[in-house]
Structure 1
Amino acid sequence: MDKLTLKQKRFVDAYIETGNATEAARMAGYSKKTANRIGTENLSKLVIRRAIQERLDAMEAAKTATPEEVMQHLTAAMRGEIREECIVSEGTGEGCSRARIMKKQISAHDRLKAAELLLKRYPTKPAREEQELRNEKLRAEVADLNTHTDEEAVVFEFSRKSETTEEN
């Protein structure tokens, strides 16, 4: 793969920031007179288009949670380590009150939901054993079907009759 020059790297950065090839060329250090032509030319180069796409893909991937992050969040929620903000109203006397923001532990319902979601990802021993029994049963059925290949096959034929309408 070709290497990018320093100006091309700056062009990639500026293009991602602005989305405008001419402006990106100016920001990268190309002359104002040739910025339009150079910007278009740079976007036609495969190595520069790949660099732009790789950077955009990396930016998108950074926004997406990994499975490990999801598991860590669910575990923290289940353990009650996550706090959420809520607004509480406090009386100040003489019929007046004021609101303030307070942090509290997430609800028991939310903690149970997190535990439930974690268990779906980590099946219990009985669930694993049940799945293995299903798999063994299916293997036995397949083996049974394979041993009876000399038997007469049953063929089902379906046909669709056209409907006729009666006029009154």
Structure 2
Amino acid sequence: MKRKLTPKQQRFADEYIKSGNAANAARKAGYSKRSARSVGQENLTKPDIKQYIDEQMAEIASKRIMDAREAVELLTRIARGEEKETVISSTPEGVYESQKEADLKTRISAVKEILKRYPGDDKLVKAQIRKAAAEADIAEAKARIMNASTDSTEAKVSEYLDKLDDVLGGDSDGN
């Protein structure tokens, strides 16, 4: 039969969990200042008190550590664009804070992480991932081309079409 802790022992254990110091925990629990150090060390050797402390510490640890379900839920929110990131922008007028969705590459990575946990040979999902990756590659290529400052607009468009053609695997003539 399990022995219950006295109120003083319970206070000692709770204080010890907070501070990690047996002597201080003993003083705060109401033991005399003179014997607090020895009583604190002695209490830590008592099986009932030790078991209580261990159980409480395990519960605290389990609340602080993300479990697999929480991890998959977070990845799902990222993949769907529901999870927002705070972005700080500084301008001459002041500092602004805004919320932004994850970029396409981050969302694709989240989807891949989810799929690792649910293996299956779903061709539709694989096609959707390929499409999303291609869209991300196209957006990056377009940004690089548009940021090139020395080319004329016609050259930029031509280069953009060539890059697009490379990504899609065909040619721009429709062949």
Which bracket does the TM-score occupy, shorter chain normalised? Answer: 0.5 to 0.7
Task: Supply the AA of the counterpart residue of 2:21.
Answer: N
SS at match of 1:65: coil
1:123 pairs with 2:124:
no
Q: Give the % identical residues.
A: 39
SS at match of 2:66: coil
Aligned to 1:83: 84
Distance 1:22 1:118 in 2: 48
Distance 2:122 2:18 in 1: 53
1:38-63 Cα deviation digits (max 9, x unpaired): 21221121111121122222222211
Equivalent residue of 1:86, what SS? Answer: strand
Q: Who is 1:152 aligned against? A: none
Matches within 5 A, 1:11-30: 11-30=12-31
Match of 1:33 in 2: 34
CA distance in 1, matches of 2:89, 2:4: 58
Alpha-carbon distance in 2 for matches of 1:23, 1:89: 48
Residue 100 (structure 2) aligns with: 104
Amino acid at match of 2:117: R
- For residues 132-151 of structure 1, the aligned pairs below 5 Å read none
Q: Using the alignment, how far apart are the partners of 1:102 and 1:73 within structure 2?
A: 20
Structure 1 residues 36-47: aligned runs within 5 Å: 36-47=37-48
TM-score, normalising length from structure 2? 0.64
The one-letter amino acid paired with 1:73 is: L
Deviation at 1:89, TM superposition (A): 3.5
Q: Offset at 1:34?
A: 2.7
Give SS of 2:87's match: strand
- Which residues of structure 1 form unaligned runs of 5+? 91-95, 128-168
Provide the rounded CA distance (Å) in 2 between the counterparts of 1:18 and 1:32. 17
Tell me the SS of whatever aligns to 1:103: strand
Q: What residue is the counterpart of 2:74 in the other structure?
A: 73
The alignment's C-alpha RMSD in Å is 1.8
Instruction: Report what 1:166 is aligned to.
Output: none
Give unpaired runs (5+ residues) of structure 2.
Answer: 124-175
In structure 2, what residue type is equivalent to 1:119?
L
Look up the match of 1:50. 51
> Residue type of the partner of 2:6?
T
Offset at 1:126? Answer: 5.6
Matched residue count: 122
Q: Distance in 2 between matches of 1:37 and 1:126?
A: 65
Give the deviation of 1:124 after TM superposition.
2.2
